[in-house]
A = this chain, B = another copy of it.
Amino acid sequence: MITKTIREQITEQIRDELMDGRFTVGQPLREADLAKRFGVSRGPIRDAFLQLSQEGFLAYEANRGVTVQTPPPDENRELIVSLRRQIECFVIVQGWRKLAGDEFHRIAAALSELHEACDAGRVAAVARCDIGLHQQILVTYGGASLLPVWKWLCSQMMLTYTRLDDYADVFEEHVRIVEAIQHGDQARAIEAIEANIK
């Protein structure tokens, strides 16, 4: 198994369902309900709620539990997109180099996962693989140092992920990014990334 602790598995699952829009905005999530559904105690659920609150998916209030986070107001969205773009481009420029074989292989694998998800057409899977590919690139060039902010920004964008109607386009945009990386063409890589993050 890739993720080890129950907490991590639960966190992922709930995050997926949130991206999938399976809960409505503002809806309260009860620890006991999910504990029962997953067949575990409230402990890991609590931890997952805490973490997802930090990530920006849930809103936490002391002694009152969590509710599904309201998407950021439109005027903030523009800033959020811009910040994420800056991080990804910064990392590419800063860490630019010829990738080792296995490094590029991991990116290619992420792209292939995205391909499958786009074919299958499941929203949550596409979103997760989309983010997953970007994360792989980010980590490869820039390490894990900026990951938390970046993830938060992504989660905020995910709360209003409106562009999932055309999966072929989504995939094609990422092919451009990966090809540019493969050919060592930095300028084209940045161009492709800037075009993709919106």
A90 within 8 A of B: yes
By the criterion CB–CB under 8 Å, are A145 and B50 in contact? Answer: no
A-B contact pairs, 29 of them (CB 8 A): A4-B62, A4-B63, A5-B62, A5-B63, A46-B47, A47-B50, A50-B50, A54-B55, A55-B148, A56-B148, A72-B145, A72-B146, A73-B143, A73-B145, A75-B94, A76-B94, A76-B142, A76-B146, A79-B87, A79-B90, A79-B146, A82-B86, A83-B86, A83-B87, A83-B149, A148-B152, A149-B149, A149-B152, A152-B152
Interface residue tally for chain A (C-beta within 8 Å): 31
Residue interface bits A111-139, CB-to-B below 8 A is 1, else 0? 00000000000000000000000000000
What is the CA–CA distance of A64 and B5 in the complex, to the nearest angstrom? 12
CA–CA, A90 and B78, complex, Å: 10
- For A148, give its contact among B46, B54, B146 (CB under 8 Å): B54
